[in-house]
Amino acid sequence: MAQHQARKRFGQNFLVDQAIIDSIVAAIAPARGDRIVEIGPGLSALTVPLLAALDHLTVIEIDRDLAARLRNRYSAERLTVVEADVLTVDFSMLAQDSGLRVVGNLPYNISSPLLFHLAQYADRVVDQHFMLQREVIDRMVAEPGSSDYSRLSVMLQSRYAMEKLFDVPPESFDPPPRVVSAVVRMVPLPQDRPRPLDQALFEQVVIKAFGQRRKMLRRSLSDWSGQIDWQGLDIPETARAEDVSVTQYMALADALFSQRTSSTPR
């Protein structure tokens, strides 16, 4: 088969380090009947060992040539190839009755939009194992008070338990990316997790807070700060976005929501 020329616009850095491939598959620990979706199979580095362990695998690949290669190589009974931009894929259609396991060495140029896209389907997901830029994973798992703590940390931590598993050096890929990568495990929090009363308002508060992360929260949320009982929420008046925990952001959004609903005339 002709050599594939890596396409930069699709974030193509192919894994070539067998020890890393083995470690990722071991972390996923696929079991025969699992319903796994691989995002960006590329030249099959993970696809081959996953298929060896599974009855069936679904992959989502945007690159027409790579999708055609996969269709030629495997029968449709073993491998379903969805040729699409993953950001447009409705994962609830893939999940059907059983929970999905989502995996992939992701295209780094779309990591944040993809993580937010997938969060919509977290109710139907068992777990996610992704290779990403290490810097992004550091932000995903960052705790309050750290300079990595960001909108991504708060939004994802409100929905998933996350664990950074191991780093992957640039030499493990062809062509090598300019950055160090890492692997993360994400497990959706259970149904009875703490949830904001109004998800959209919670997201709005977090976006606004981190939009001006160097400012004191009281100032960046100045439109609302008159309505906020900072003391009652145990948030110091001098706090900045990065000092506030996920639980406190939820409480903040809930307090605003309750005020809005109680002041709405009937």
Residues that bind ligand SAM (CB under 6 A): 10-15, 40-43, 45-46, 60-63, 66, 85-87, 105, 107, 110
User: 72: which residues sit within 8 A by CB, 6+ positions away?
Assistant: none
Which secondary structure element, helix H or strand E, spans residue 83, and what is its range?
strand 79-83
Q: Contact 61/67 with Cβ under 8 angstroms?
A: yes
* Least gap, CB of 50 to ligand SAM (angstroms): 10
Nearer to ligand SAM, 169 or 211 (CB): 169
Q: What is the rounded CA–CA span in Å between residue 67 and residue 61?
A: 6
DSSP assigned state of 122: G
Instruction: Say how far residue 29 (Cα) sits from the centre of its chain.
Output: 19
Nearer to ligand SAM, 62 or 155 (CB): 62
Q: What is the rounded CA–CA span in Å between residue 79 and residue 75?
A: 6
Nearer to ligand SAM, 61 or 254 (CB): 61
3-state secondary structure of 185: strand
* Least gap, CB of 86 to ligand SAM (angstroms): 4
| Cβ count within 10 A of residue 55 | 12
Nearer to ligand SAM, 52 or 214 (CB): 52
Give the pair of three-digit tokens for residue 223. Answer: 């439109």
Residue with nearest beta carbon to ligand SAM: 40
* Least gap, CB of 79 to ligand SAM (angstroms): 14
Instruction: Say how far residue 125 (Cα) sits from the centre of its chain.
Output: 12
* Least gap, CB of 155 to ligand SAM (angstroms): 20
Beta strands 125-133 and 181-188, pairing class: antiparallel
* Least gap, CB of 84 to ligand SAM (angstroms): 7
Q: What is the rounded CA–CA span in Å between residue 98 and residue 125?
A: 9
* Least gap, CB of 135 to ligand SAM (angstroms): 15
* Least gap, CB of 43 to ligand SAM (angstroms): 6
Nearer to ligand SAM, 83 or 243 (CB): 83
Nearer to ligand SAM, 15 or 221 (CB): 15
Q: What is the rounded CA–CA span in Å between residue 242 and residue 12?
A: 33
Nearer to ligand SAM, 27 or 197 (CB): 27
Q: What is the rounded CA–CA span in Å between residue 166 and residue 182?
A: 6
